[in-house]
Amino acid sequence: MDNNQKHMLQDTAMKIRIDIIEMLSISGSGHPGGSLSMSDIFSYLYFSGKLKLDASNPSMKDRDRVVLSKGHVCPVLYAALAEKGYFDKSHLKTLRKYGSILQGHPDMNKTPGVDMTSGSLGQGLSCAVGMALGARLDGLACNIFAILGDGECDEGQIWEAAMAAAHYRLGNLIAILDKNDLQIDGYTKDIMNTAPLTDKWKSFGWHVIEIDGHDFDEIDFAVSSALAIKDMPVCIIAKTVKGKGISFMEDRCEWHGKTPSPEETEKAVHELCGIDPD
């Protein structure tokens, strides 16, 4: 990846993070921690040019699909979709409001660019498996990206879907696992220790790639490698920092579902823009 593209993706990720903070501040409810940890990944997915997407034709039949299985971090998806032009950015101010197209979990019937309605944890990978099988049956040359959380891997349905994906050798299925080591009640290792995740996914028949989820060179390598593998599903385990980019939110489980005050919002935006508050 050349430096110009990297700088563009970094700048886009910063814009996504600012939009996340501002929309959550206005809504008064939502989930900043996991949204911020995935901002670099979403910047890459929607703006690197590696995925086949068209904001002017969101229902394009052979498009690549993105399934946000951990649907509570939809602010990062909404911010990326708005930045890409799927809908006007003014909608971000209506997050979680009655009648808004942007609800607290993604809704494929309301929001342009949302490929799968999601909410209950663990279900998104099963949906992605079905979509990958359907694409194969329909002869569509597209890829399905499922975005999972490490806390979500507590759910048994994740592993049933993982087993099915390997059984059917779904080379058009790529899972990206946000390994920020935190969930709503604390550290994942204390709530339900799923380690070693890499060995588990390999034992279920997946090709596994481990990366720093905030390094665009590593993200690019992982996605490019995954797209080249055609005979088995791929799991990209991305090590991330919950609340990434905002010092008082980073690696703090209380920011899983807590929204910032106006003062905290101002401080967060200043940090993201590199502005010294003093």
Q: What is the CB neighbour count within 10 angstroms for residue 261?
A: 11
The predicted-structure confidence for 59-101, as pLDDT tens digits, reads as follows 999 999 999 999 999 999 999 999 999 999 999 999 999 999 9
Per-residue pLDDT band for 1 (boundaries 50, 70, 90) equals confident
Distance CA(173)–CA(68), nearest Å, equals 13
Place of tokens 């279900």: 123
Where in the sequence is the domain holding 208, given as residue range(s)?
3-273
Q: What is the number of alpha carbons within 13 Å of residue 71 lying toward its C-beta?
A: 21
**Residue 133 within any structural domain of the chain:** yes
Let me know if residue 208 belongs to a domain. yes
What residues form DSSP beta bridges with 176? 147, 236
pLDDT digits (tens, 9 = 90+) for 174-212: 999 999 999 999 999 999 999 999 999 999 999 999 999
What is each CA distance from 10 to 41, 59, 261, in whole angstroms? Answer: 10, 28, 26
How many domains does one find in the chain?
1
Tell me if the bond preceding 106 is cis, omega within 30° of 0: no
Would you say residue 278 lies in a domain? Answer: no
Q: Whats the size of the chain, residue-wise?
A: 278
28 occurs within a structural domain: yes
Mean pLDDT calculated for residue range 110-139: 96
Q: Rounded to whole angstroms, what are the CA distances from 152 to 210, 244, 275?
A: 18, 19, 35
Give me the residue label for tokens 């579902």. Answer: 257
The shares of helix, strand and coil residues in the chain, as percent rounded to the nearest 5, are 45, 10, 40
Model-level pTM? 0.97
What CATH number has the domain bearing residue 49?
3.40.50.970
Does a structural domain hold residue 248? yes
Is residue 17 a contact partner of residue 274, using CB atoms and an 8 Å limit? no
Q: Are the C-beta atoms of 60 and 116 separated by less than 8 Å? A: no
Q: Is the pLDDT of residue 127 over 70?
A: yes
Q: Is 81 helix (H, G, I), strand (E, B) or coil?
A: helix
